[in-house]
């Protein structure tokens, strides 16, 4: 029988559930309090006496854990768990879990949305119609910019995890040749019809499209810098749905302004939200979505379902998605 918890607190539940979904599954496991957002100075007062904390972006560090003696479990409502001091949690016997692979299809779909918007200039032409430009056209077809056919082009992927592999399948379905920088063996990639790149330099120089799906580490911080941008074709497209700091944003903006890069589509920035601005905002041919690739209703529903099952498993004494 599942143990009933006294208090479950969700610190920043709004992005996962702005009101169109339900936390009822968690409410079957304990007394649930949901906060849409929590600023750092409210963390301790809101989490006091909580045995289970669920967080997305609210940082749970050693000081917070020391001030929350009842805390037994931290569930991260995301795949990345850098918001939690995991070492300190382990030292204190606090279980930490995350939500893996819940948004694979949604993020891959956003990659394709950016790619097709850039190559087919969807937003540009739809806006022209809205402004009445088609009505005034002397021709039956109004063309505001060149359109690019993807069939036969090379799609380069950095990182072939769940999302990277799904993006590869979608690119292949559109007739593109896929190459990748990956830790997977050449033989394994060949079995999926993917060519293994020798290194970053080969991928950046040969690909018509480069899409980033690697984790953010010391090695990959500013993976896309001025040197690698200089290797890319002037007709190349860059897409980032991974982490903002994978890009040197100043270098990417400069490449767009100088015409050394055809187009960029990003769903992430170095600072989110960009309260201090970003060199990519206002850069020509740069299309930015506000970190929503993960946020389809289907993906958010999976996230909540997995988070609930993680807590239920913990209460049963089992380890599920434990970090």
Asked if residue 322 belongs to a domain, the reply is no
The pLDDT tens digits for 108-130 are 999 999 999 999 999 999 999 99
Based on the fold, state whether residues 79 and 214 are members of the same structural domain.
no
Asked if residue 239 belongs to a domain, the reply is yes
Instruction: Please say if the pLDDT value at position 1 is more than 60.
Output: no
Integer Cα distance of 149 and 154 in angstroms: 12
The pLDDT tens digits for 38-70 are 999 999 999 999 999 999 999 999 999 999 999
pLDDT at 70: 96
* Tokens encoding 177: 């040749």
| Residues recognised as catalytic | 243, 272, 291
Based on the fold, state whether residues 127 and 257 are members of the same structural domain.
yes
The mean pLDDT value of the chain amounts to 96
Q: Average the pLDDT over 24-28 and give the result.
A: 96
pLDDT at 319: 86
pLDDT at 4: 57
Q: What CATH number is attached to the domain comprising 112?
A: 3.40.50.720
The pLDDT tens digits for 171-226 are 999 999 999 999 999 999 999 999 999 999 999 999 999 999 999 999 999 999 99
Q: Average the pLDDT over 253-264 and give the result.
A: 98
Q: Average the pLDDT over 292-301 and give the result.
A: 98
Give the position of tokens 């559109």: 174
The DSSP output letter for 214 is -
Asked if residue 87 belongs to a domain, the reply is yes
Look at residues 296, 291, 203 and name the one whose alpha carbon lies nearest to residue 244. 291
Instruction: Please say if the pLDDT value at position 140 is more than 80.
Output: yes
Helix (H, G, I), strand (E, B) or coil at 196: strand
Q: What is the DSSP string of 115-172?
A: HHHHHHTHHHHHHHHHTTTTTT-SSSS--SS-----TT-EEEEE--SHHHHHHHHHHH
Based on the fold, state whether residues 171 and 276 are members of the same structural domain.
yes
Based on the fold, state whether residues 271 and 282 are members of the same structural domain.
yes
Based on the fold, state whether residues 280 and 301 are members of the same structural domain.
no
The pLDDT tens digits for 221-242 are 999 999 999 999 999 999 999 9
Q: Are 77 and 99 in contact (CB under 8 A)?
A: yes
Cβ within 8 Å of residue 61, ≥6 positions away: 85, 88
Q: Average the pLDDT over 259-283 and give the result.
A: 97
Based on the fold, state whether residues 158 and 245 are members of the same structural domain.
yes
Q: pLDDT band at 6, cuts 50/70/90?
A: confident
The DSSP H or E segment spanning 312 is: helix 297-315
Asked if residue 178 belongs to a domain, the reply is yes
Strand partners for 74: 53, 96
Based on the fold, state whether residues 213 and 130 are members of the same structural domain.
yes
Q: Are 78 and 55 in contact (CB under 8 A)?
A: no
Based on the fold, state whether residues 132 and 61 are members of the same structural domain.
no
Sheet with 263-266, side-by-side order of all strands: 194-196, 177-181, 154-158, 209-212, 237-240, 263-266, 286-288
Based on the fold, state whether residues 72 and 112 are members of the same structural domain.
no
Asked if residue 320 belongs to a domain, the reply is no
* Tokens encoding 320: 């599920």
pLDDT at 227: 98
Asked if residue 127 belongs to a domain, the reply is yes
Q: Which domain holds residue 209?
A: 104-288
Instruction: Please say if the pLDDT value at position 5 is more than 70.
Output: no
The DSSP H or E segment spanning 263 is: strand 263-266
Asked if residue 31 belongs to a domain, the reply is yes
Asked if residue 250 belongs to a domain, the reply is yes
How many domains, in total, are found in the chain?
Answer: 2
pLDDT at 3: 57
Give the position of tokens 């187009």: 263
Based on the fold, state whether residues 128 and 86 are members of the same structural domain.
no
Based on the fold, state whether residues 145 and 163 are members of the same structural domain.
yes
Q: What is the DSSP string of 23-62?
A: -HHHHTTEEEEE-S---GGGHHHHHTT-SEEEESSS-B-H
Based on the fold, state whether residues 173 and 83 are members of the same structural domain.
no
């Amino acid at each position: 029988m599942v143990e009933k918890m006294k208090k479950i607190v969700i610190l920043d539940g709004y992005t996962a559930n702005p009101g169109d979904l339900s936390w009822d599954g968690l409410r079957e496991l304990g007394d649930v309090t949901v906060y849409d957002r929590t600023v750092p100075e409210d963390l301790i007062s809101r989490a006091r006496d909580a045995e289970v904390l669920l967080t997305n972006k609210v940082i749970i560090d050693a000081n917070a854990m020391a001030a929350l003696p009842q805390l037994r479990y931290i569930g991260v409502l995301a795949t990345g768990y850098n918001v939690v001091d995991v070492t300190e949690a382990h030292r204190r016997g606090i279980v930490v879990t995350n939500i893996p692979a819940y948004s694979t299809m949604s993020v891959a779909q956003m990659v394709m949305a950016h790619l097709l918007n850039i190559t087919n200039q969807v937003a540009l032409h739809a806006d022209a119609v809205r402004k009445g430009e088609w009505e005034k056209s002397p021709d039956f077809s109004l063309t505001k910019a060149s359109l690019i056919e993807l069939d036969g082009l090379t799609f380069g992927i950095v990182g072939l995890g769940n999302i990277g592999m799904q993006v590869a399948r979608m690119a292949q379905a559109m007739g593109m040749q896929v190459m990748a920088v990956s830790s997977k063996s050449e033989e394994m990639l060949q079995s999926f019809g993917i060519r293994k790149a020798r290194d970053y330099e080969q991928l950046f120089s040969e690909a018509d499209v480069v899409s980033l799906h690697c984790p953010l580490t010391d090695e990959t911080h500013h993976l896309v810098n001025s040197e690698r941008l200089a290797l890319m074709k002037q007709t190349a497209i860059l897409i980032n749905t991974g982490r903002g700091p994978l890009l040197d944003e100043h270098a990417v903006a400069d490449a767009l302004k100088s015409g050394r890069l055809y187009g960029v589509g990003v769903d992430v920035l170095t600072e989110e939200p960009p309260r201090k601005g970003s060199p990519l905002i206002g850069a020509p041919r740069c299309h930015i979505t506000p970190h929503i690739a993960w946020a389809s209703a289907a993906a958010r529903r999976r996230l909540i379902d997995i988070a609930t099952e993680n807590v239920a498993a913990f209460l049963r004494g089992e380890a599920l998605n434990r970090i």
